[in-house]
Chain A
Amino acid sequence: MSQSDETATEVDRETTDTSDRSTVGQSILEVDAIDAYYGESHILRDLSLHVEEGEICALLGRNGAGKTTTLRSIASTAEPEVRAGQIRFYGHEITHMATEDVAVRGISLVPEERRIFPDLTVEENIHVAEVVRNRSNVLGRNISFDREQMPDEDLYEVFPRLEERLSQKGGTLSGGEQQMLAIARALKQNPDLLMLDEPYEGLAPQIIQSVEAAIERIREDGTTVLLVEQNAVAAMNVADRCYVVDQGSVVFEGTAEELRNDEETRQRYLGV
């Protein structure tokens, strides 16, 4: 496909997407009865969920339940392989799309563990996403985009610590700061859906509070969040709705309040 064709396709896609997004509170992401495999290991079994516009939706479960596999299936990574079911974003099927195309459509994934580019500076980590939409200016330093990026001022308002460390290498930041940076990089792309995989993992309680505050602030700014977390208590603090996953299937769906009141589900599947 030529470059102009690609650009034209993207413009068409954007136009279509924008028209689809007129209804506030609708399901923007629908995962419909997917079966996902790592090699021959059947991980997700007939898993269905949906995420509504503007909400924080938490995907909870024990280690190995299939939470990360669900996020990776949505992000369309090389593994796992989705062999049955459909994933739709704003009504368009994205099931077997290339990972970068899923990101370009407005889904940003902040993966677990080391989530940043450690040898790039904080500023470069944030701005590396800017090149995604840059088709015309190859070697120049001024970049133009067809998708509006989040202004730096807005980003640093949410993450003031990062602004103080712009020229520092990402790998030299503390764990909490690295997590903030990973979220900031994803937000820079102005995503419609931000997927966070274990954002509290390995963080001190005080830092978790800061990350929680940042996630709530992101929701207030209108970004929908799909949160995967083992720390069920922390996740329920910020989530509007929750899914509990066990052995690759959804075993609970309801509001965070309903999950708090459902002691049997909490004890049986989350151990809290």
Chain B
Amino acid sequence: MSDETRRADDTGTVDETGTGLAGGDLLTRWRSVKERESFVILGTVVAVLLFPYLFARAPVVSEILQGYQSLAELMLIWGIFVIGFDLLHGYTGLLSFGHAAFWGGGAYAAGVFAIHVSGSPIAMILVGTTFAVLLAWVLGFLSLRRGGIYFAILTLAFAQMLFYVALQPLSNLTGGDNGLGIGGSTIEPLLGFIPLDAGVPVITMFVDTWMYMLIGIAMVVTVAFAYRVLNSPYGMVFRAIRENEQRAEFVGLNVWRYKLMSFVLSGAIAGLAGSLFAIQQARVPVESLFWTTSGEVVIMSVIGGVGSLFGGPIGAALYLYISNIVQGMSEVVLFTQIDKLFPGAQAVVLPEWASPAPYWHLILGLLFVLVVVFIPRGGIWGGLQSIGSRIGSRFGGDR
């Protein structure tokens, strides 16, 4: 279920029964506050600030999770990518299998610009995003002539064409099979004087470097932008098209034009994410244009929750966690901190066969299957919202 429709349910279910008045009143207030634009943005800011600390540095939690800073950055970048993808798939109902074109295209454009023109991170982001917008305009114009599976196949075909163009004919520019090595020294300091690997004053403990700050700001801007679009008349039309294209035409909507706009907006956000990826990695692997990248973003979106603003980043984080952390768990150690509570006690090391590392693909597949079977529309985010609603109803609300 989308955030919008869930909000609609929320506003329609005010406690008027007299049972649990205080709790119901609080819940009603909470439901109205949590959907405000300012609250959504503020919540994103807080989450972005706390996330790398909890994931990579907080005592106990980070040790259990085994997280690290660069993975936190990568999770945010992919989170932005999934938000862009979901704008098209979750809200407009168009399943693209070629979003690697915008992610990889944005990354390559930013990388090539850095090497040949300027390594300013802001300029790289602008160039990468602009390139993705133009690319999306062209590919959207061609692909949206067909619907359903034909649209999906067309987007896949165009993205694969770009991959092979980058692999061979343009290998002088793209680095071909080796990818494009930008080099950390090519990327200039932020605004000309802030090195990206320098700590952020005052909040270093939380966010660590300016690299994360840059990515975090991009995430907040993306959420704010996507929230505004989805709650504008444009967003309403996108959802109407998702529901029934022909009915939208009967209303008088130029469906094709709105679909193209959705495609371009989606491509722009994917391009922004791709540019950040180029900056963070200081290289662009040619696989960023490959179909597996398009497939990964679909899986992340489904796991997190199709048609939900925050489902995407959650899906991206889970996917990357399993493919990076779980994949590397060759040894599982339980109770690593137990000696602090009980001096002399030792951590438990599980036998080698209990290690999840060899099974990480299986774990990912199982997670995907479980989500598709049990929470197909809402994904993990939908499941969390459902649990929240149940708890809310227990404490005085009517649901």
Binding site for B on A (CB under 8 A): 75, 77, 98-101, 103-104, 108-111, 114-121, 124, 127-132, 134, 137-141, 143, 165, 167-169, 185, 189
B residues in contact (CB < 8 Å) with A: 2, 5, 8-9, 11-12, 228-229, 231-234, 236-237, 239-240, 242-244, 246-255
The residue in chain B whose Cβ has the minimal distance to the Cβ of A143 is B233
Q: How far is the CA of A103 from the CA of B232 in the complex (A)?
A: 22
A100 to B246, CA, bound (A): 9
Given A118-B243, A131-B236, A139-B234, A103:B249 Cβ within 8 A: yes
Once A131-B237, A139-B232, A168-B12 are accepted as A-B contacts, the answer to whether A77 and B253 lie under 8 Å apart by CB is: no
Q: How far is the CA of A109 from the CA of B246 in the complex (A)?
A: 11
Asked whether A128 lies within 8 Å of B251 as measured between CB atoms, the reply is: yes
- Asked whether A117 and B247 contact (CB < 8 A) given A100-B252, A169-B5, the answer is yes
Complex CA–CA separation, A131 to B12 (angstroms): 24
Main secondary structure of the interface of B (DSSP, over half): helix
Do residues B250 and A108 form an inter-chain contact, with CB atoms below 8 A?
yes
Closest to A132 in B: B252
Q: Which residue of B lies closest to A129 (CB)?
A: B251
Question: How far does the alpha carbon of A132 sit from the alpha carbon of B229 in the complex, in Å?
Answer: 16
Q: Which A residue sits closest to B11, measured CB to CB? A: A167
For this complex, 19 residue pairs linking A to B, each with C-beta atoms less than 8 Å apart, are A75-B250, A99-B246, A99-B249, A100-B252, A100-B255, A103-B249, A103-B252, A110-B250, A111-B246, A114-B244, A117-B240, A118-B243, A119-B239, A119-B242, A120-B239, A124-B240, A129-B252, A131-B237, A189-B252
Asked whether B228 lies within 8 Å of A189 as measured between CB atoms, the reply is no
Q: Smallest Cβ distance from A243 to chain B, in angstroms?
A: 22
A179 to chain B, nearest CB (A): 14
* Cross-chain contact B250 with A117 (CB below 8 angstroms): no
Query: Which of A100, A110, A141, A165 has a CB less than 8 Å from the CB of B254?
Result: A100
Distance to closest chain B CB from A88 (angstroms): 19
Nearest first, the 8 A-B pairs at minimum CB distance are A103-B252, A132-B252, A99-B249, A117-B243, A121-B8, A167-B12, A131-B233, A167-B11
Q: Which of A100, A111, A115, A138 makes the CB contact (< 8 A) with B234?
A: A138
Question: How far apart are the CA atoms of A114 and B236 in the complex, in Å?
Answer: 19
Cβ of B5 to closest chain A Cβ, rounded Å: 5
How far is A167 from B11 in the complex, measured between Cα atoms in Å? 6
Complex Cα distance, B257 from A104, in Å, reads: 15
Residues of B within 8 A of A114 (CB): 244
B251 touching A119, Cβ below 8 Å: no
Cα distance, A141 to B5, chains bound together (Å): 18
Q: Nearest-CB distance from A226 to chain B (Å)?
A: 14
Which partner residue on chain B sits nearest A78 by CB separation? B246
A contact residues around B5 at 8 Å (CB): 119-121, 169
Closest chain B residue to A114, Cβ basis? B244
Which residue of the partner chain A has the closest CB to B6?
A169
- Residues on the A chain within 8 Å of B234, using CB: 131, 138-139
Whether B233 pairs with A120 at a CB distance below 8 angstroms is no
- Checking B236, B250, B253 against A127 with a beta-carbon cut-off of 8 angstroms, the contacting residue is B236
Residue in A115, A143, A169 whose Cβ sees the most chain B Cβ within 10 Å: A169
**CB distance A130 to B253 under 8 Å?**
no
A139 and B226 alpha carbons, distance in the complex (Å): 11
- Known A-B contacts A119-B2, A169-B9; the reply to A109 vs B237 at CB < 8 A is no
A99 pairs with B9, CB closer than 8 A: no
Contact A132 B251 (CB under 8 A): yes
| A189 lies within 8 A of B251 (CB) | yes
CB-defined contacts of B249 to chain A, threshold 8 Å:
77, 98-100, 103
Q: Give the distance in Å from the alpha carbon of A226 to the alpha carbon of B252 in the complex.
A: 18
